[in-house]
């Protein structure tokens, strides 16, 4: 059993914001795994199937970012999965723009969605793919994360987000996480 969760906010107005980079990566992972989002379970849009005989779920929580953990906890319960079966893909302001960091576990940092997941699951011991987007903008963080991605940055983010989706897909296929980290971690 493997569960990929991409973090974001539902709704058209958030679609092309930094806070939805996780949703976009989850969509790339689903495409790579030939899965289609056609169900709603556990307050998430879900694509599911079998890869090499193992159940794989790709989910986009619809709870809004700060309550992502509620949906993730429900998903793990519904599918009888463990935190080590989970990989979460999300935007991270603590990393430089366009960077990609995959980790086996760790703190939530400054990300409220991750803080809620850690709180709901009661552990930091699950994999994560962090997509960096720190820029030079002089606006409050809450406004910046919900702002639209600058057109000149589309190519950079398209490449990084696609790599994040591929990394999550490799995890779902059962590839060793250390190998996934070596393959995709970049500055």
Can you read off the two tokens belonging to residue 154? 């589309």
- Is 19 an active-site residue? yes
Cα–Cα nearest to 122, from 91, 87, 83, 80 = 83
Alpha carbon distance, N-terminus to C-terminus of the chain: 30
DSSP letters, 107-173, are --TT-HHHHHHHHHHT---SEEEEEEEE----S-HHHHHTSBPPGGGHHHHHHHHHHHHHHHHHHHT
Q: Which of the following is catalytic: 19, 39, 111, 162?
A: 19
Enumerate residues 6+ apart whose C-beta is below 8 A from 175.
none
Cα(39)–Cα(23) distance, rounded to whole angstroms?
15
Cα(54)–Cα(174) distance, rounded to whole angstroms?
9
What are the catalytic residues? 19
């Amino acid at each position: 059993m493997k569960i990929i969760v991409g973090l974001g906010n539902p709704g058209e107005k958030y679609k092309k914001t930094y806070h939805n980079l996780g949703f976009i990566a989850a969509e790339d992972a689903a495409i790579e795994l030939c899965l289609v989002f056609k169900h709603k379970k556990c307050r998430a849009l879900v694509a599911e199937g079998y890869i090499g005989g193992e159940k794989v779920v790709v989910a986009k929580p619809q709870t809004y970012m700060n309550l992502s953990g509620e949906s993730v906890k429900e998903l793990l319960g519904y599918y009888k999965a463990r935190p080590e079966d989970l990989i979460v893909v999300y935007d991270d302001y603590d990393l430089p723009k366009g960077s990609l960091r995959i980790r086996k576990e760790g703190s939530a940092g400054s990300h409220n969605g991750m803080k809620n997941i850690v709180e709901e699951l009661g552990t930091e011991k699950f994999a994560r793919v962090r997509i960096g987007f720190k820029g030079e903008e002089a606006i409050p963080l809450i406004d910046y994360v919900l702002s639209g991605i600058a057109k000149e940055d589309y190519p950079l983010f398209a490449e990084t987000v696609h790599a994040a989706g591929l990394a999550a897909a490799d995890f779902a296929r059962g590839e060793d996480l250390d190998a996934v980290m070596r393959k995709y971690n970049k500055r």
